[in-house]
């Protein structure tokens, strides 16, 4: 049997590591470049969906009939609806970026398709319900969007647990939008 021996600094069996000075100086520069690329991709990954959502809300607000409806006290005012749609878009895009950062879209491309479907349906819902006032079609779009968010939540949770947790408020918001849309049918 081999005996265990405590090695000290003076042992001849231990060879010190040698580093190249150029390698040590280049390492922080490489890390800074990686960090800069990561921040750039984060900024793009969040700003593009937020810009599209903001554009969709702006285009729908010009001809919105939502604000003129006689509403119940529990229906949110238009400004709260718009702010929460923006917050939901922010959380979903951050969640999608976290999945992308760990390579989740390469391993499971279905997650990317579900995210793109959710984003497209969200933009369409804003135009259909808030812009055109078509609550029946909006309810169908909202229920489909709910299914896409459920799929995103499941896929994102497998790739990155934090991304799955960020998708939970979006899931609750989409369910609330479906209820609001259902009530708009009966008003």
In a domain, 15, yes or no: no
Q: Number of structural domains, the chain?
A: 1
Residue with more model confidence, 119 or 38: 119
In a domain, 101, yes or no: yes
In a domain, 32, yes or no: no
What is the percent of the chain where pLDDT is above 70?
73
Single pTM value for the model: 0.76
In a domain, 48, yes or no: yes
Is 145 within 8 Å of 121 (Cβ atoms)? Answer: yes
Distance CA 173, CA 10 (A): 65
Give the domain range for residue 125.
40-66+74-186
In a domain, 90, yes or no: yes
What is the Cα Rg of the chain in Å? Answer: 25
Quick: pLDDT tens for 99-132: 998 888 889 899 999 999 999 999 998 888 877 8
Structure tokens that stand for 134 in this block: 């078509």
In a domain, 137, yes or no: yes
Quick: pLDDT tens for 138-172: 999 999 999 999 999 999 999 999 999 999 999 99
Residue with more model confidence, 23 or 53: 53
In a domain, 138, yes or no: yes
Give the chain's mean pLDDT: 81
In a domain, 104, yes or no: yes
Residue 52: which CATH number?
Answer: 1.20.1260
Q: What is the per-residue DSSP string for 71-98?
A: --TTSPPHHHHHHHHHHHHHHHHHHHHH
Sign of the dihedral defined by the CA atoms of residues 42, 175, 148, 122, in that order: negative
CA distances from 14 to 5, 103, 116, 137 (A): 12, 39, 55, 73
> 168-185 b/e with 16+ CB inside 10 Å = b?
eebbebbeebbebbeebe
């Amino acid at each position: 049997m081999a005996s265990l021996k405590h090695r000290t600094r003076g042992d001849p069996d231990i060879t010190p590591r040698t580093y190249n000075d150029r390698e040590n100086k280049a390492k922080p520069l490489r890390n800074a470049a990686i960090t800069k690329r990561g921040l750039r991709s984060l900024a793009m990954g969040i700003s593009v969906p937020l810009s599209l959502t903001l554009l969709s809300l702006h285009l729908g607000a010009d001809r919105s009939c939502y604000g003129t409806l006689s509403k119940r006290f529990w229906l949110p005012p238009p400004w709260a609806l718009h702010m929460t749609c923006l917050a939901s878009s922010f959380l979903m895009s951050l969640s999608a970026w976290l999945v992308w950062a760990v390579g989740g879209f390469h391993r499971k491309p279905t997650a990317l398709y579900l995210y793109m479907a959710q984003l497209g349906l969200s933009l369409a819902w804003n135009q259909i319900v808030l812009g055109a006032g078509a609550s029946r079609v909006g309810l169908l779009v909202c229920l489909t969007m709910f299914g896409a968010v459920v799929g995103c939540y499941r896929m994102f949770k497998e790739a990155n647990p934090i991304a799955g947790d960020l998708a939970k408020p979006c899931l609750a918001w989409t369910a609330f939008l479906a209820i609001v849309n259902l009530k708009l049918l009966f008003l």
